[in-house]
A and B are shown apart, each in its own frame.
Chain A
Amino acid sequence: MSETVAFERTPSVADVATHYCPGCQHGVAHRIVAEYLDGQGLAGNTLMVTSIGCSVLLYNYLLFDAVEAPHGRAPATATGLKRTNPDKVVFTYQGDGDLASIGMAEIMHAANRGERITVVFVNNTVYGMTGGQMAPTTLVGQKTTTCPDGRCASREGQPFHMAEIMAGLPGVAYSARVALNSLKNIVQAKKAVRHAFEAQLEDRGMGFVELLATCPTNWKMTPVQANERVENELIPCFPLGVFKDLKTSGAC
């Protein structure tokens, strides 16, 4: 019986095993980004800025030239990279601690300036690499190692809704939130990643995409339970959708 290959590795994803935990969706997010850039023939023209956290080793899995920014600073590094290399496609790949906590100033200002970059924001509501501490996106009531009784709104505040915040900034041309917990949502995620790059490629402004993802290890769940949590807890708090899609730029 002959075999038909139905699904191939996209060339910009390295043929190596990743260090991610079972059930982690960084691999899915990596694949979506690489597949889009390969599909557009942009692999040789893309520069990525990696950040700190579980995805710090992104450059081991995505075969684009890369510079590693210190914790939270990727949007500033991407600004310098893009401003001096406007012909390149530049993207950052950041987790919730990196982007919404220590790097909040850098993302807000890069967005407000309308930097022609694409920001891939992976939100799994917890600090993964450092062992499961509270993130700026941790849900109220969610237990982490630094809010062991559950996040309390009056003590630790409420989760930041980054895709909505970004949509409110004039320099952002596209902002959407998608999830990686089901095939249907992954199809939507692919579309959002494409639009987030198109905002840059068409010189309209920053493209921002928030990907709701799992962290089974720090959520202390099986991968299947983690996917269910995304559906039952994350999406009700972080609604999916396109919050902004500007078709023109505000260039001076």
Chain B
Amino acid sequence: MEGGRIFVKGSEAVAMGALDAGLKGYFGYPITPQNEIPEYMSKHLPEAGGAFVQAESEVASINMVLGAAAAGKRAMTSSSGPGISLMQECISNMAGGEVPCVIVNMMRGGPGVGDINTAQGDYFQSTRGGGHGDYRTPCLAPATCQEAYDMTREAFDWAFKYRTPVLVVGDAILGQMKEPLIRRAPRPDDPDEASGWRLGQTSGPNRRILRSLHLAEGKLAEVNLRLQEKYRDMRAQARAEEFLVDDAELVVVAFGSTGRIVKSAVRKLRAKGLKVGLLRPITLFPFPEQVLRDLAYSGKRFLTIEHNMGQMVEDVRLAVRGLSDSDFFGALPGNLPTPDEFQAAIERACAGASL
């Protein structure tokens, strides 16, 4: 398995990354465009000694994840926008109860049922918590099949390090695209990974309780402060890909599949002599704000391109506030954007024209 190049869809790469990360439970409900993940899991996870259940709904899926994860198992679910919305109750519950898991969202167009074509409209939902209460979810945004594999694997490490639900956010392009992938050796199981908190080791007065209800005076405040401290600690882990930004006058900020399409546009524009570069946030939360701030200090202008009506641009503006600003160009949800469309937008921004 290790070392050989295989040709797989992005969704299959996600499934392989989770399996090689030591996945013990997958619980999901079919929704386009990510069905290859449960399909792959239904065969390969039981073979690897894990549990696969096709749940009756996304609500049940994430609550099954909660059960498996409460016993310290590496567990995950996957879905697309409408299904992720249904999961938010339990994601909030797991954030509050500090139960780790991985949730994959292969985004499609919204709002509502939307369509099954690609889009990036779930950025706010992914980075703002999504459910009720004061919490955030670390959010990794791969752009290639290899990254889909690597980041799903890595997401479990984030989840267990911080005891939190972690999102891997792709879209229909990434989920359905086929590319070469190199798998790495499966992670050996660590029997002590969750020994500090998992259920199943105690009973009697020292029993363990994983809960998000805190009625005692001051207790909920204490929990919220601890959660915020975790989110602050995560900031040091923020990552972004920088492509031709050093001498760029205009830095285009784009994530995931859009980042990849923008990269093609940037290459073409460089060939035409335009000083443009790409900054592709890889962690959407924590957002790589220091990288952006440093670029703003050095006098760059910014253009944020997303496959939505304008969401990440708010984080870009917050990051560069007081120093610079960002223009915005949004590809319409459901339409497949092209490098030419982005190229034209970047050229207009370079010329200072309205977008």
Contacts and interface: CB of A to CB of B under 8 A. Distances in A.
B203 A80 contact: no
B67 A49 contact: yes
A145 B118 CA distance: 47
A50 B67 CA distance: 11
Given A105-B56, A106-B63, A43 B203 contact: yes
Q: Tell me what chain B mostly uses at the interface: helix, strand, loop, or mixed.
A: mixed
Contacts of B27: 79-80
Interface residues of A, number: 36
A80 B64 contact: yes
Interface stretch (B155-163, B210-218, B265-273, B314-322): B210-218
B56 A65 contact: no
Given A56-B213, A64-B207, A106-B60, A82 B67 contact: yes
Given A68-B210, A68-B213, A83-B25, A63 B204 contact: yes
A11 B204 contact: yes
A67 B98 CA distance: 11
Interface of A: 11-12, 14, 43-44, 46-47, 49-50, 56-57, 59, 63-70, 73, 76-85, 88, 105-106, 109, 113
Contacts of B60: 73, 76, 79, 105-106, 109
Interface in B40-66: 50-51, 53, 55-57, 59-61, 63-66
Contacts of A64: 203, 207
Contact of B67 (A46, A57, A78, A109): A78
B55 A84 contact: no
Nearest to B90: A70
Given A76-B60, A79-B64, A46 B51 contact: no
A65 B202 contact: yes
Contacts of B68: 80-81, 83-84
B71 A83 contact: no
Given A67-B211, A70-B90, A76-B61, 11 more contacts: A47-B70, A49-B67, A63-B205, A67-B70, A68-B213, A79-B27, A79-B53, A80-B64, A85-B73, A88-B71, A105-B60
A59 B214 CA distance: 12
